[in-house]
């Protein structure tokens, strides 16, 4: 039964969070089929992996992109788990070194965005990799415009001079940063995120009269809202429902 619930639950999450459907427009036949697959084969875990990849894994940089680490600039293709990279704390507006928790590689045909800065440097990223625009926040690479100012590691900015798009087979790299989930790339040190899309966690509400499975997957706040925790991905973690409730019992 747990597999059924997880399979169906992940299918609903996939349709709403990735495909952008409202609850009223969910394809319930697909939900039923995913629930059945979850019962017999644990297929919900596969969908969960795809969902997590959508949030954390599919946005990357080309191999020669420089990353600001504790030991100086390093090509992203050489960054390893345990390396410490310079990262930005959005709550305190300060920088500090944070450990790399996982590294990600992919090779396929990507839409790549080449961003040329007025400093003369160029950075190439997959289309939806988030960059931080000073005064506006996170924006995907394919939404960047000439004249916008990107935030740098030292608190100053650099202006976008040119944006070019190409589609080609490429091996790309990314990694997950502990706690703050961002880092600085390029010699200039441009602030970029290691996650896709909206930097907010979707609220999850229980339904009256519906008993949820204890192992149902929840996105949960690390720091509770009552303690001034926000809804950013850097304040999020994946927990089962039972694990989530246990936090409140301690």
* Model pLDDT for residues 114-160, shown as the tens digit of each residue: 999 999 999 999 999 999 999 899 999 999 999 999 999 999 999 99
Q: What does pTM read for this prediction? A: 0.60
* Burial (CB count within 10 angstroms: exposed 0-12, middle 13-18, buried 19+), residue 75: middle
**Contact status, residue 148 vs residue 163, Cβ threshold 8 Å:** no
Quickly state the pLDDT bin for 59 (edges 50, 70, 90): confident
- Give the 3-state DSSP-derived string for the chain, with helices as H, strands as E and coil as C: CHHHHHHHHHHHHHHHHHCCCCHHHCCHHHHHHHHHHHHHHCCHHHHHHHHHHHHHCCCCEECCCEEEECCEEEEHHHCCCCCEEEEEECCCCEEEEEEEEEEEEEEEEEEEEEEEECCCCEEEEECCCEEEECCCEEEEHHHCCCCCEEEECCCCEEEEEEEEEEEEEEEEEEEEECCCCEEEECCCCEEEECCCCCCCCCCCCCCCCCCCCCCCEEEEECCCHHHCCCCCHHHEEEEEHHHHHHHHHC
Instruction: Identify which has the larger pLDDT, 61 or 238.
Output: 61
d(CA 134, CA 169): 32
At 183 the pLDDT is: 98
At 197 the pLDDT is: 33
* Mean per-residue pLDDT over the chain, rounded: 76
Average pLDDT over residues 192-208: 50
Percentage of the chain exceeding pLDDT 90: 52
pLDDT tens digits for range 76-93: 999 999 999 999 999 999
Domain ranges of the chain: 1-57, 61-193, 199-250
Quickly state the pLDDT bin for 9 (edges 50, 70, 90): low
pLDDT tens digits for range 14-58: 545 544 445 555 455 555 555 655 555 554 555 555 554 444 446
Average pLDDT over residues 102-111: 93
Q: Quote the Cα angle for 157-159-161, to 5°.
A: 160
Quickly state the pLDDT bin for 200 (edges 50, 70, 90): very low
pLDDT at 213 exceeding the cut of 50: no
CATH number of this structure's domain 61-193: 2.170.16.10
């Amino acid at each position: 039964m747990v597999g059924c619930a997880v399979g169906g639950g992940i299918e609903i999450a996939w349709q709403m969070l990735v495909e952008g459907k409202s609850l009223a427009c969910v394809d319930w036949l697909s939900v039923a089929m995913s629930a059945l697959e979850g019962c017999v084969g644990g297929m919900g875990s596969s969908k969960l992996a795809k969902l997590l990849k959508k949030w954390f894994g599919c946005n990357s940089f080309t191999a020669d992109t420089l990353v600001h680490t504790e030991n100086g600039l390093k090509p992203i293709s050489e960054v390893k788990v345990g390396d410490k990279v310079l990262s930005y704390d959005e709550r305190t507006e300060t920088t500090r070194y944070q450990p790399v928790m996982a590294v990600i590689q992919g090779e396929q045909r990507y839409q790549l965005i080449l961003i040329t800065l007025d400093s003369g440097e160029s950075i190439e990223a997959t289309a939806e990799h988030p960059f931080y625009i000073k005064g506006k926040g996170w924006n995907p690479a394919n939404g960047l415009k000439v004249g916008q100012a990107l935030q740098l590691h030292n608190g100053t900015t650099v202006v976008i001079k040119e944006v070019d798009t190409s589609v080609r087979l490429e091996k790309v790299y990314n990694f997950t940063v502990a706690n703050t989930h961002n880092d600085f790339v390029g010699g200039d040190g441009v602030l970029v995120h290691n996650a896709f899309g909206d930097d907010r966690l979707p609220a999850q509400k229980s339904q009256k009269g519906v008993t949820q499975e204890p192992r149902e997957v929840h996105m949960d706040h690390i720091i509770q809202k009552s303690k001034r925790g926000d809804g950013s991905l850097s304040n999020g973690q994946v927990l089962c429902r039972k694990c989530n409730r246990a936090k409140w019992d301690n």
